[in-house]
């Protein structure tokens, strides 16, 4: 374990110069000092530029791009029910200043991302999210990229890194190994954890579908407050994210995502082979940094040892004080430092 003073100095240096490698492989530590302090609340969001769009075989994906042309590609992936703009308003410009080219897509069912065909199954399953990421890269003609995300976006990055490691230069994953083990979907977790997953079970019911349809903003506000209990988000931050939930496919995608992960709904046939491969809980071989928010209200922080065996390449784990579930928005400096660190591990 690295001492607190040395750790603080190391993280400060990582943020300042953009090259880490200062944390021992596989060690868990708490990010302290400047890197964990994040930004002052209420700071104006940086401009991520216009919303662009690009077509894959399934979607017209809305996205932002920030940073110099020819810079090392980084794909920043948001979660539910959060916004890519809010989550990466500070991370993307910080990386761009260090020469990275950042791509920030909107997940299926969110914002201006649209399905190309009416008859396409509105799936929210993990294999679909991972396949969308690789298809997005293909459309952009990006051969390899660093993946970084949390929640749904972290799962997309984990799936793509595991199934297509040749496309991934490194991975930052909040809350560790996020590939769902559907073989044990019906096995209960400790009650203290199950209670934080209340919306999983709500969405299993038609009452929950109607609730999401009618009360999108009120439901999301509850999730934000409970999943990130120390985050003092502003009304403007919440209103910006709420614009994403008017997508016509939002309810269908969200409901399917939570029903599928509890083995209560079938997946889309086009992803059946990928889901079979994910049942084996494939190892992630690329360099990886995993992060836990110490104030995460839904996924309790750990030392990472429970999922360490899933990472067979260079791996390290950090706990970020004061961070909840939307870690890149709540502690952007720590998330940025983790990307610089994993890039230096490659």
**pLDDT of the residue at 29:** 54
Average model confidence (pLDDT) across the chain: 89
Q: Yes or no: say if 63 and 53 are a contact pair by the CB < 8 Å rule.
A: yes
What whole-number percentage of the chain has pLDDT above 90? 86
Does the pLDDT value for residue 60 go beyond 90? yes
> Rounded to an integer, what distance in angstroms lies between the CA atom of residue 303 and that of residue 41?
28
Q: What is the pLDDT of residues 135-166, one digit of tens each?
A: 999 999 999 999 999 999 999 999 999 999 99
Does the pLDDT value for residue 112 go beyond 90? yes
**pLDDT of the residue at 34:** 35
Contacts (Cβ under 8 Å, ≥6 apart) of 247 = 109, 110, 111, 112, 113, 114
> Rounded to an integer, what distance in angstroms lies between the CA atom of residue 334 and that of residue 33?
10
Does the pLDDT value for residue 17 go beyond 80? no
What is the Cα Rg of the chain in Å?
Answer: 19
Q: What per-residue string of b and e applies to 13-31 under the rule 16 or more CB within 10 Å gives b? A: bbbeebebbbbeeeebbbb
> Coil, helix or strand for 28?
strand
Range of weakest confidence among 19-28, 126-135, 169-178 = 19-28
Confidence of residue 346 (pLDDT cuts 50, 70, 90): confident
The C-alpha torsion from 257 through 263 and 266 to 268, rounded to 10°, is: 50
Q: Yes or no: say if 58 and 123 are a contact pair by the CB < 8 Å rule.
A: no
Does the pLDDT value for residue 247 go beyond 90? yes
pTM over 0.75: yes
* pLDDT average, residue stretch 163-175: 98
Contacts (Cβ under 8 Å, ≥6 apart) of 120 = 58
Confidence of residue 47 (pLDDT cuts 50, 70, 90): confident
Does the pLDDT value for residue 232 go beyond 80? yes
Q: What are the E-state strand segments in 179-338?
A: 288-293, 315-320
Q: Do you know the residue count of the chain?
A: 346
Cis? peptide before 180, omega within 30° of 0 = no
Does the pLDDT value for residue 254 go beyond 60? yes
């Amino acid at each position: 374990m690295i001492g607190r003073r040395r750790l603080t100095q190391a993280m400060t240096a990582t943020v300042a110069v953009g090259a880490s490698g200062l944390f021992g492989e596989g060690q868990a530590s708490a990010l302290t000092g400047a890197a964990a302090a994040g930004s002052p609340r209420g700071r104006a969001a940086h401009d991520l530029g216009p919303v662009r769009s690009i077509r894959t075989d399934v979607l017209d994906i809305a996205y932002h791009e920030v940073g110099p042309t020819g810079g090392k590609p980084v794909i920043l992936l948001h979660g539910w029910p959060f916004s890519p703009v809010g989550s990466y308003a500070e991370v993307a410009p910080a990386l761009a200043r260090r020469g990275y080219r950042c791509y920030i897509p909107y997940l299926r069912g969110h914002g201006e991302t649209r399905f190309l065909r009416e008859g396409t199954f509105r799936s929210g399953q993990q294999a679909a999210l991972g396949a969308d990421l690789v298809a997005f890269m293909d459309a952009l003609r990006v051969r390899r990229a660093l993946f970084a995300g949390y929640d749904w976006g972290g799962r997309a990055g984990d799936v793509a890194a595991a199934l297509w490691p040749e496309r991934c230069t490194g991975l930052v994953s909040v809350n560790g190994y996020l590939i769902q083990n559907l073989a044990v979907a019906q096995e209960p977790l400790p009650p203290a954890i199950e209670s934080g997953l209340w919306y999983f079970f709500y969405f299993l019911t038609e009452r929950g579908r109607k609730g999401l349809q009618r009360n999108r903003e009120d439901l999301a506000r509850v999730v934000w407050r409970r999943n990130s209990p120390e985050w003092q988000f502003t009304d403007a931050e919440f209103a910006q994210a709420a614009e994403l939930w008017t997508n016509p496919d939002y309810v269908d995608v969200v409901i399917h995502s939570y029903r599928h992960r509890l083995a209560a709904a079938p997946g889309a046939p086009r992803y059946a082979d990928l889901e079979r491969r994910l049942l084996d809980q494939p190892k992630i071989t690329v360099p990886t940094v995993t992060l836990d928010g110490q104030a995460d209200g839904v996924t309790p922080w750990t030392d990472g040892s429970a999922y360490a065996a899933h990472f067979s390449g260079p791996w390290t784990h950090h706990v970020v004080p004061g961070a909840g579930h939307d870690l890149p928005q709540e502690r952007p400096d720590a998330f940025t430092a983790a990307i610089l660190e994993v890039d230096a591990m490659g």
